[in-house]
A and B are shown apart, each in its own frame.
Chain A
Amino acid sequence: MELLKVDQIEKYYGNKSSLTKAIDDISFEVEKGEFVAIMGASGSGKTTLLNCISTIDRVTAGHIYLEGEDVTALKGKELNKFRRDKLGFIFQDFNLLDTLTAYENIALALSIQKYGVSEIDKRVKAVAEQLGISDVLNKYPYQMSGGQKQRVASARAIITDPKLVLADEPTGALDSKSSKLLLERFVYLNQEQNATIMMVTHDSFSASYASRVVFIRDGKIFHEIVKGEDKRKTFFNKIIDVMTLLGGDVSDAV
């Protein structure tokens, strides 16, 4: 069953004299329980795509449906409600509130949905267990490593059981070991907890953890490959091949 349907969307920036097509007619679908990676070089329009799906930005033309609901038609308060109830976000720079402890950061996502205290406590502890951050719950962001911060951010994103988790370059600010740990957690969440994840990245290694990779170039879908029964290593090589074709720097791909 399709969860997300992106239907011929376009996004233009600028004015009449200088028009930039950040997204130029993109359509694709995401099934429930999928782990999709969107790949592309800097400036290819992948973050714009994510912003449009997450309703942070508005499309110029086209429609985006989540569970059949047209999110491009939402306005004002409905947008916030939609984001709060249906989506989970993970950002490159974590976006944790530096004044709050890890526990409070995670709990905030539930408390704005008006959950009771005992329910919040139960869920926070459970999700912390899943992501291996139980021991940093009482620390402030500045007392944590990058990997821990990103896992706290992930915990905040999935604790509300969102329909769709959107991750924007989640490994961008992490070292390779932390990246690997985080991505393994993503796979766990995807396979064991049945979370639908859509991740934007320009890193082939990160993308190789996904079950499907969509390549974008100059605002258009360039190619799409599915992992299927492949080993991660094989899938990684396939991604590298496409990246070479894409014209991206090979060193960039490795």
Chain B
Amino acid sequence: MLFKMSLRNIKRSIKDYAIYFFTLIIGVSIFYVFNAIGSQASMLQLKKSQYEIVELLQSTLSATSVFVAVILALLIVYASRFLMKRRHREFAVYMTLGMSKGQVSVILFVETVLIGIISLVVGLLVGTALSQLMSAVVVDMFEADMSAYHFSFSLDAARKTVLYFLIMYVAVIILNNVAVTKMKLIDLIQSAKKTERIPNRNPWICLLVFAVSVAGLVYAYYTVGWNYETLGQTQLSVCILLGATATFFIFWSVSGIALKVIQSLKNRYHKGINVFTFRQISSMINTMVFAMTVICLMLFLTICAISSSFAVRNSMNNNMIEMCPADLELHLGNLDFSKEAESEEYGDTFTSLSDLYEKKGYNLTEDLSEYLDFYTYADPTFTWENSFGDVFQQDEGAAVSVQLDMSALEEIITVSDYNRLMKFYHEEEISLDEGEYVVICDFKNMMDIRNCELAKGRIINIYGTDLKPKYNQCIEGFISLGASHINTGVFVVPDSVVEGHAPQMNYLIGNYDASSKAERGKIEELQYSRYETIWNDLETTSHSVSYYYIDTKQHIEEGAVGLGAILAFLGLYIGLVFLVSCGAILSLKCLSESVDSVERYAVLRKIGVDEGDISKSIFCQIGIFFLAPLALAIIHSAVGMKFATYILETFGTEAMHQSIGTSAVILLMIYGGYFLITYFSSKNTVS
């Protein structure tokens, strides 16, 4: 009997449940899709080095899943409580007819179980279908072979999804039970009576609060978006907190004054059924100030997460071509040589790469079609402190300095070596007179710092020679292969300056003598195996070599692709869940509002309002309700992205515009989808 009632209840209130159901299904399928990515990726024929990245991806995603599960759990609890509140009158009827609270609980329990099972099954089906689409994305991200792809179902991911959602549903059941036990019949009956409470906020206080909030927000914007160079950890937290609080009070005050402002525009207010529309919006927003704030902040995070993760991914892939102009880089040296440099032995024990390889019985330049080797130097007295330490003394607020080890030695290269290298890279060469120096740098934050000193014509002293800067700023460039702009600075000096001094590092840059992908792979493997053999018995034989490293274009590419993929998936995962949550909350509120307003629309029809005007009014109401948090979130994001661009400078953010496009499309699809569903079902409800 109770089971039958539950079944009928679900059927009857399908309109209310539709959005809830829809959200559960999306939640389940997103959860499944992202947890299945790992197993999908491992099915592709990936290179060995990529498996590590897939593993990293898998563990990152599963860690994020816990966070996502918490968000989804909160959403589900919120939605189910919301739907339950709408049914107080129904419970009152049950209880006046003599049904016990236990029996009401049973009805709710059966309903939750039914909805849970159906949503899990449907969600997993949808998820499996979607994850096939996702495979294409995975293939694309890892730049793998599409032909290796075939239909897949991840049992692990399915099991995990079921487990997590079971826990969520159990939580919902327990909370519902608690709510039922707390119910009082009198409250239930009275909740049936509509009591439209219109909060009457003092417009002057609202105006004041609005002004203060905007001022607070502008301050936070300025600090984060324009004054970021002096931004410390605590200051950032303060700004975030300030931004969130200001968001809340902006919604609070705007909902208080907006109506008053519109009312004063009498011509607009008393036009058609505007008066009705504005009142509806105002009452909707008034009761949702907190929820709107949460939604606004979640949208903000979504936009930032998706845009910046995609920006980094895309830029990294673009950077690759520019940042890796050669196939192979080997370097050998003694970084921590400051003590030994003073000893006379040092110069004799420095081992060059070719010496080392020869000693081990290898030919260094074997398999290379072209190559270049050069040395870099380091003056033990020429540290970061000596080259730009003054910047921080002048500006004590600079928090950036905290993280820097100012005793690090600057890397020095002769102008002739530098020009040879640039020729090899097909980049611009430079000319340098005696007594001059140039700084090569492409790490944006570091460039800013160095430029301060260069602009002042900072005189430096290397190996006892005074040098003055040739330019008032750094030259953007690098000497080492890399995936992104991480060159913190290299000093180019006239050859004469380093004459008679031992080098610190020996570089070899080369291109493989290969025409096919397979050949390249073979040489790559050979290089790595040589490197490993040499490295393994290095420490015992040569004390001066403490730094020996290999880097290849292929290796960097794989790492970057993998890192980019992880970032993109993470951004997408969190973004999607947040978007779905926002859409669901707004939708539920709008739909319940239209159920409450059915009679109002009936009145409007009775006094002869056109159906078209009613539709327009509904569109307006839902549109403004969906747009208000989005509008503020977009403004937040504009500043947030400015800050993110600064933070992510290292990885390159050239692809920012394109990725903002990507996030706009995703936003439009999910958020817009929720909007449309809400609009049509609202229309359906009131007609």
Are A and B interaction partners? yes
Q: Within 8 Å CB of A142, what residues of B?
A: 195-196
A107 to B607, CA, bound (A): 12
Q: How many pairs of A and B residues are in contact by the CB < 8 Å rule?
A: 81
Judging by beta carbons under 8 Å apart, are A97 and B271 in contact? no
Judging by beta carbons under 8 Å apart, are A80 and B608 in contact? yes
The residues in A between 108 and 130 inclusive whose CB is less than 8 angstroms from any CB of B are 108-112, 114, 116-117, 120
Judging by beta carbons under 8 Å apart, are B270 and A100 in contact? no
Judging by beta carbons under 8 Å apart, are A89 and B276 in contact? no
Query: Shortest distance in angstroms between A118's beta carbon and chain B's nearest beta carbon?
Result: 9
Query: Shortest distance in angstroms between B541's beta carbon and chain A's nearest beta carbon?
Result: 87
Q: Is A7 an interface residue (CB 8 A)?
A: no
**In the complex where A97-B600, A99-B276, A100-B279 touch, is A108 in contact with B607 (Cβ < 8 A)?**
yes
A56 to B605, CA, bound (A): 9
Sorting the interface of chain A by its residue count into under 10, 10 to 19, 20 to 34 or 35 or more gives 20 to 34
The chain B residue with its CB closest to the CB of A79 is B608
Q: Is B93 an interface residue (CB 8 A)?
A: no
Interface string of A132-144 (1 = CB under 8 A from B): 0000000010100
**In the complex where A99-B276, A107-B275 touch, is A112 in contact with B607 (Cβ < 8 A)?**
yes
**In the complex where A107-B275, A108-B275, A111-B275 touch, is A117 in contact with B607 (Cβ < 8 A)?**
no
Interface string of B600-639 (1 = CB under 8 A from A): 1011111111111100000000000000000000000000
The chain B residue with its CB closest to the CB of A115 is B270
Judging by beta carbons under 8 Å apart, are A95 and B603 in contact? yes
A76 to B610, CA, bound (A): 9
Interface string of A55-98 (1 = CB under 8 A from B): 01000000000000000000011001111110101010001111
Q: Is A161 an interface residue (CB 8 A)?
A: no
Query: Shortest distance in angstroms between B597's beta carbon and chain A's nearest beta carbon?
Result: 9
Q: Is B554 an interface residue (CB 8 A)?
A: no
Judging by beta carbons under 8 Å apart, are A98 and B194 in contact? yes
Q: Is B521 an interface residue (CB 8 A)?
A: no
Q: Is A104 an interface residue (CB 8 A)?
A: yes
Q: Within 8 Å CB of A109, what residues of B?
A: 607
**In the complex where A97-B603, A107-B275, A111-B270 touch, is A140 in contact with B196 (Cβ < 8 A)?**
yes
Q: Within 8 Å CB of B603, what residues of A?
A: 95-97
Judging by beta carbons under 8 Å apart, are B606 and A84 in contact? no
**In the complex where A56-B606, A84-B607 touch, is A111 in contact with B279 (Cβ < 8 A)?**
no
The listed residue with most A CB atoms (<10 A of its CB), out of B195, B599, B603, B604, is B603
The chain B residue with its CB closest to the CB of A108 is B275
Judging by beta carbons under 8 Å apart, are B606 and A99 in contact? no
Interface string of A164-182 (1 = CB under 8 A from B): 0000000000000000000
Q: Is B685 an interface residue (CB 8 A)?
A: no
A111 to B612, CA, bound (A): 16
Interface string of B238-280 (1 = CB under 8 A from A): 0000000000000000000000000000110011111110011
Query: Shortest distance in angstroms between A97's beta carbon and chain B's nearest beta carbon?
Result: 5
Q: Within 8 Å CB of B602, what residues of A?
A: 95
Main secondary structure of the interface of A (DSSP, over half): helix
The chain A residue with its CB closest to the CB of B614 is A80
A153 to B609, CA, bound (A): 16
Q: Within 8 Å CB of A116, what residues of B?
A: 267
A116 to B266, CA, bound (A): 10
**In the complex where A99-B280, A140-B196 touch, is A84 in contact with B266 (Cβ < 8 A)?**
no
Q: Is A46 an interface residue (CB 8 A)?
A: no
**In the complex where A111-B271, A142-B195 touch, is A99 in contact with B283 (Cβ < 8 A)?**
yes
Interface string of A188-225 (1 = CB under 8 A from B): 00000000000000000000000000000000000000
Judging by beta carbons under 8 Å apart, are B272 and A99 in contact? no
Query: Shortest distance in angstroms between B203's beta carbon and chain A's nearest beta carbon?
Result: 15
**In the complex where A98-B194, A108-B275, A117-B270 touch, is A84 in contact with B609 (Cβ < 8 A)?**
yes
Query: Shortest distance in angstroms between B284's beta carbon and chain A's nearest beta carbon?
Result: 10
Query: Shortest distance in angstroms between B63's beta carbon and chain A's nearest beta carbon?
Result: 47
Q: Is B518 an interface residue (CB 8 A)?
A: no
Query: Shortest distance in angstroms between A18's beta carbon and chain B's nearest beta carbon?
Result: 24
A119 to B280, CA, bound (A): 25
Q: Is A156 an interface residue (CB 8 A)?
A: yes
Q: Within 8 Å CB of A84, what residues of B?
A: 607-609
Q: Within 8 Å CB of A104, what residues of B?
A: 275, 279
State which of B195, B198, B271 has its C-beta within 8 Å of the C-beta of A99. Answer: B198
The listed residue with most B CB atoms (<10 A of its CB), out of A76, A95, A99, A109, is A99
Query: Shortest distance in angstroms between B263's beta carbon and chain A's nearest beta carbon?
Result: 9
**In the complex where A104-B275, A111-B275 touch, is A95 in contact with B606 (Cβ < 8 A)?**
yes
Q: Within 8 Å CB of A97, what residues of B?
A: 276, 279, 600, 603-604
A89 to B602, CA, bound (A): 13
Judging by beta carbons under 8 Å apart, are B600 and A112 in contact? no
Judging by beta carbons under 8 Å apart, are B270 and A107 in contact? yes
Judging by beta carbons under 8 Å apart, are B274 and A111 in contact? yes
The chain A residue with its CB closest to the CB of B194 is A98
Q: Within 8 Å CB of A108, what residues of B?
A: 273, 275-276, 607
Judging by beta carbons under 8 Å apart, are A77 and B607 in contact? no
The listed residue with most A CB atoms (<10 A of its CB), out of B276, B611, B613, is B276
Query: Shortest distance in angstroms between B134's beta carbon and chain A's nearest beta carbon?
Result: 46
Query: Shortest distance in angstroms between B53's beta carbon and chain A's nearest beta carbon?
Result: 57
Q: Within 8 Å CB of A107, what residues of B?
A: 270, 275
Excluding A98-B194, A114-B271, A140-B196, 7 further A-B contacts by CB distance (< 8 Å) are A81-B610, A83-B606, A91-B606, A97-B603, A107-B275, A108-B273, A112-B607
Q: List 22 A-B contacts (CB under 8 A).
A: A56-B606, A77-B612, A80-B609, A81-B608, A95-B599, A95-B602, A96-B603, A97-B279, A99-B198, A99-B279, A104-B275, A104-B279, A109-B607, A111-B272, A111-B275, A112-B272, A112-B273, A112-B609, A114-B271, A117-B266, A142-B195, A142-B196
Chain B residues within CB distance 8 Å of chain A? 194-196, 198, 266-267, 270-276, 279-280, 283, 599-600, 602-613
- The 6 lowest CB-CB distance pairs between A and B, nearest first, are A84-B608, A83-B608, A99-B279, A117-B266, A95-B603, A111-B270
